[in-house]
Homo-oligomer: A and B are copies of this chain.
Amino acid sequence: MGVKSMELNKRKLQILQAIIDDYIVSAEPVGSRTIAKKYDMGISSATIRNEMADLEEMGYLEQPHTSAGRVPSDKGYRLYVDRLMKIKKLSITEAKYIKDLYAKKTNQLEQVIIQTSKILSSLTNYTAVVLGPKMDRVLIKHIQLVPIDKRCALLVLITNNGITKDAVISIPEGIDEDYLYRISNMLNHLFKDKSIEDIKLEPLLKIQKYMLQNREFFNSIIDALTTSIDVGDASEVYLGGAANIFNYPEYHDIIKAKEFFDLLEQKEFLYKLLVRSEKSGVSVTIGQENQYKELQEYSIVTATYSAGGRTLGTLSIIGPTRMEYSKAISVMDFIGKTLSDYLTQLFAEG
């Protein structure tokens, strides 16, 4: 057989691309005859058969059973994504559609995120998972205690990303509005321009001197601060288009479908999975590349969004490894950027 034949020469790449292109839309194992007929490369099906056997031996293709066509392996998809596929730019209609949806203003960050998940899923036809803004590295812009009545006050926290959090806390006896005002100023002075993480670590030391009286009250403030932030985890995972999965025949098996929806219900897991370092741009995880067993039959395309150059969160779509990577990647890229522009502008103004 000679070593020569096992090179990944141009023809092999061409054939691999053709097979994957075909399989992505058909979901059926691809045979040599199909390739020979559909793509006119001037070689016979027998030749293609030989090449396919080589590609299988090299790990780029798999055979469901002896007398079936070939199916791409994860390694095959990886090669396809990195070197073979043609990135499809969004159509002008699609780009305009997206731009228009982000045209109208709203101050409700959550609404924007929800809308993003819907757009993402409707354009890609996969399931979208969008994470709300990460709070941990965000800086505090303003912190204040607002008196409501004799017994309680509202703790308000505003970050430099324009996100607001608040919590009602009760006031112990014998604290008048003026004292509350002084505490409020003190907190603001102490924590302004600090990150949320800092609060968790520092306060006990720095505040200690203020804490001699009303120790409990201070504790409840710190408590409210940290817990109101920590909530960020599971509750800020937004899904869109979960039912899209039914479009794909691999999930017409009830067992598979159930697995998928069970997965989606584990919001904490999704959060852990998709929260990533600030690496911007679009990234693709194919099947077994995923560290989690539960996800090794899926592919995930992830992008980040930011405001004013600071990464805030991630958007992802999740679907079968037989995914329209080309379309998916360009949509993710475009929406990630559009959303970032939108948020940057929003925060700059508001």
Given contacts A170-B349, A242-B261, contact A231 B108 (CB under 8 A): yes
Bound CA span A224–B105, Å = 12
Q: How many copies does the complex hold?
A: 2
> Is A257 a contact of B265 with CB atoms below 8 Å?
no
A26 close to B (CB within 8 Å) = no
Bound CA span A115–B228, Å = 16
Given contacts A108-B228, A254-B257, contact A164 B162 (CB under 8 A): no
The interface on chain A, measured as residues whose beta carbon lies within 8 A of the other chain's beta carbons, has a size of 43
28 A–B pairs (Cβ distance < 8 Å), ordered by A: A107-B167, A107-B168, A107-B169, A107-B224, A108-B228, A108-B231, A110-B235, A114-B234, A114-B235, A141-B149, A142-B149, A142-B154, A144-B146, A146-B156, A152-B350, A164-B166, A164-B168, A169-B350, A170-B349, A241-B265, A243-B261, A243-B264, A246-B254, A246-B261, A252-B254, A254-B254, A254-B257, A261-B261
> Is A350 a contact of B170 with CB atoms below 8 Å?
yes
Q: Residues of B contacting A180 with CB < 8 Å?
A: none
Bound CA span A271–B241, Å = 18
In the assembled complex, how far is the CB of residue A47 from the closest CB belonging to chain B, in whole angstroms? 40
Bound CA span A262–B247, Å = 12
Given contacts A166-B166, A168-B164, contact A258 B243 (CB under 8 A): yes
Bound CA span A166–B222, Å = 21
Closest 10 CB pairs of A and B: A243-B261, A246-B258, A142-B148, A168-B350, A243-B262, A252-B254, A164-B166, A107-B167, A144-B146, A243-B265
A111 close to B (CB within 8 Å) = yes
Q: Residues of B contacting A254 with CB < 8 Å?
A: 246, 252, 254, 257
13 further A-B pairs in the complex, CB-CB below 8 A; given A141-B149, A148-B158: A108-B231, A111-B235, A142-B148, A142-B154, A169-B350, A170-B350, A242-B242, A242-B261, A242-B265, A243-B264, A246-B254, A246-B257, A246-B258
Q: Residues of B contacting A227 with CB < 8 Å?
A: 106-108
Q: Residues of B contacting A262 with CB < 8 Å?
A: 243
Q: Residues of B contacting A156 with CB < 8 Å?
A: 146, 154, 156, 166
In the assembled complex, how far is the CB of residue A7 from the closest CB belonging to chain B, in whole angstroms? 44
Q: Residues of B contacting A164 with CB < 8 Å?
A: 154, 166-168
Which chain B residue has the least Cβ–Cβ distance from A108?
A: B231
Bound CA span A179–B242, Å = 50
In the assembled complex, how far is the CB of residue A116 from the closest CB belonging to chain B, in whole angstroms? 13
Interface residues of A in 72-87 (CB under 8 A from B): none
Given contacts A146-B146, A154-B156, A265-B243, contact A111 B231 (CB under 8 A): yes
Which chain B residue has the least Cβ–Cβ distance from A249?
A: B254
Q: Residues of B contacting A235 with CB < 8 Å?
A: 110-111, 114
Q: A94-115 toward B: CB 8 Å interface, digit per residue (1/0)?
A: 0000000000001110110010
Bound CA span A241–B252, Å = 20
